[in-house]
């Protein structure tokens, strides 16, 4: 994974862009989307059950696929009323947030790739270019020099581009209204 700090920023950036537009993101939908960005990494539980990393039910398997993201999007659409959003907005926000996790993971330089095309294929994929330092698994590992290196690389490769996109997107939505 990239770190959870970075994953949750993706829907935050989307919400910032949509703020003030005709379709702002509700607080509930944003909270659900932030949760959806970290949901895929609950699959590390697989390690506790002795499921190997390269198994489709292992880390970066099923939960890091477009199939899983579509499923979460559909759940969001069903719960749209509770999320104070339209079905379409809930679907795209949650499916997009979930898929963004695997998308960012595919840019990291360690571990195995993501099973992006499950259930069509079990193959693990990486992007052809992986500039992001892979995050250590576990909390204590963050408080090391390696943890600092990971955060710096995410700041540079993910957070900064996201901020630029958010500002540019905000500028565009503003100039439209």
Q: Residue 114 gets which letter from DSSP?
A: B
> Does residue number 105 form part of the binding site for Zn ion (CB under 5 A)?
yes
In the window 21-50, what residues touch Zn ion (CB under 5 A)?
41
Least distance (Å) between residue 104 CB and Zn ion:
8
Alpha-carbon distance 142 to 18, whole Å?
32
Please state the closest distance from residue 40 (CB atom) to Zn ion, in A.
5
3-state secondary structure of 28: helix
Tell me the β-bridge partners of 114: 125
In the bound state with Zn ion, the residue whose beta carbon lies nearer, of 17 and 116, is: 116
Find, among 104, 160, 101, the residue nearest to 131 by Cα: 104
Provide the CA 14 distance to its chain's centre, in angstroms: 12
* Closer Cβ to Zn ion, 1 or 30, answer by number: 1
| Cβ closest to Zn ion, residue 1 vs residue 115 | 1
**Which is closer to Zn ion, CB of 61 or CB of 83?**
61
Closest approach, Cβ 107 to Zn ion, in A, equals 11
Binding positions for Zn ion, 56-95, rule CB under 5 A: none
Q: Answer positive or negative: Cα dihedral of 18, 22, 28, 33.
A: negative
Binding flag, residue 154, Zn ion (CB under 5 A): no
Shortest Cβ contact with Zn ion: which residue?
1
CA nearest neighbour of 177 among 22, 24, 23 = 22
Q: Which stretch binds Zn ion (CB under 5 A): 15-23, 31-39, 101-109, 165-173?
A: 101-109
Whose structure tokens read 């590992």?
A: 141
Are 101 and 39 in contact, with CB atoms under 8 Å apart?
yes
Shortest Å distance, C-beta 110 to Zn ion: 12
Shortest gap between Cβ of 162 and Zn ion (angstroms)?
17
Q: Phi and psi for 114 in degrees, rounded to 5?
A: -100, 145
Total residues at interface with Zn ion (CB under 5 A): 3
Binding site for Zn ion (CB under 5 A): 1, 41, 105
């Amino acid at each position: 994974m990239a770190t959870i700090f970075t994953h949750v920023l993706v829907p935050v950036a989307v919400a910032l862009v949509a703020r003030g537009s005709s379709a702002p993101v509700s607080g509930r939908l944003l909270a659900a989307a932030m949760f959806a960005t970290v949901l895929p990494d609950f699959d590390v539980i697989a390690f506790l059950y002795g499921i190997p990393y390269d198994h489709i039910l292992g880390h970066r398997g099923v939960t890091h696929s477009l199939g899983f993201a579509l499923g979460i999007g559909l759940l969001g659409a069903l719960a749209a009323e509770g999320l104070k959003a339209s079905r379409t907005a809930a679907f795209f926000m949650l499916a997009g947030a979930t898929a963004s996790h695997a998308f960012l993971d595919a840019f990291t330089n360690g571990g195995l790739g993501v099973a992006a095309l499950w259930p069509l294929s079990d193959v693990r994929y990486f992007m052809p270019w992986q500039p992001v330092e892979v995050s250590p698994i576990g909390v204590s590992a963050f408080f090391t020099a390696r943890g600092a290196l990971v955060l710096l690389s995410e700041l540079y490769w993910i957070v900064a581009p996201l901020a630029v996109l958010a500002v540019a997107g905000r500028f565009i939505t503003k100039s439209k209204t």
